[in-house]
Every structure is written in C-alpha cells, then in structure tokens.
Amino acid sequence: MNNVIILGAPGSGKGTQGKILAGHLGIPQVSTGDLIRAAMKQGTPLGVKAKSFYDQGHLVPDEVIYGLIQEILDAPASREGVLMDGFPRTSPQAEAVDRLLKAKQAKVDRVILLEVDETELVKRLLARAAKEGRADDNATSVTQRLKVFQQQTAP
C-alpha cells in the first residue's frame, strides 16, 4: 500500500500538487473538504452539521470527520493506498488514521508538508475566491482558517 498525507495551510497547494502526485502514484486523491462541500450541496445530515462550521472557517468537529475518514480508508478504491488531502487536521484525527490503517496491517507511508509564506497564502485564497466563489474564501474566513491551521493542525 501507498498511504500518503499531504499537509499544508489553506492555499498552500495541497489540491493542485496532490492531484499530480496521486496521478503518478496511481492512487486516488481524497479531500475531506471536497466531500464536505458535496455533502452540503446535497443537504445530507453530514452536510447540514458541517455548514455553520465550514462557513465561518472553523474545523468541522472531529466526531463528524471520523466516519468520513473511515469510509475513505475502507473504500475499495483505496485498496492500493490513498493520498489524503485536507486530513488529518487535528491530533485526534491523526490518531484515527493510524488506528484505522493499523487494523488493515497498513501505515502512513509518507507525509509531505507544503510550506508557503502567509502573505502569499492570503493572496492566493482571495484570488481563488474571485475565480471559484467558494463560500469560505472571504477575507474574514481566510484569516480564521489560517489561524485554525496554526493552532489545531500544525501541532
């Protein structure tokens, strides 16, 4: 198996670089952010629970994310491994990934950290807001998400 985690602040390029890397490795790239956006769009129970956290740039509570992580790692498409984009984002989520992989006699094989200056991150996120219109790419939410990365994900 080839289980890879791509880590970095919002706007650091996890989605863009992860896509290229997953293509090279022949494994799926799975983003919890994309799954949450799809769930909100469809109005599923997970989407409804996530919405207020998401819109304000806060992390969705771990309890909501655990099930999602389990589903991703158990999916037949993840048989050969998975490129994790946007998770784990907290220590308890990281422990959940370890535990779930261990149950399959697997492990995290590689972790990549993308480091980008904060001024550049803000520039990129506001540019993306103009292009893609993501609800959480406004100035208030961007500041909040960068703070959340430092406080909850960086450790």
C-alpha span between 51 and 103 (Å, rounded): 31
Nearer to ligand AMP, 27 or 68 (CB): 68
Residue 153 binds to ligand AMP (criterion: CB under 6 A): no
Four-residue CA torsion sign, 14, 8, 125, 59 = positive
Residue 65 binds to ligand AMP (criterion: CB under 6 A): yes
Q: For 6, phi and psi rounded to 5 degrees?
A: -110, 120
Residue 83 binds to ligand AMP (criterion: CB under 6 A): no
C-alpha span between 116 and 119 (Å, rounded): 9
Residues within window 3-22 making contact with ligand AMP, judged by CB under 6 A: 10
Catalytic residue flag (residue 89):
yes
Structure letter (DSSP) for residue 76:
G
Catalytic residue flag (residue 49):
no
Residue 125 binds to ligand AMP (criterion: CB under 6 A): no
Determine the size of the site formed for ligand AMP (CB under 6 A).
18
**Active-site annotation, residues:** 14, 89, 128, 134, 145
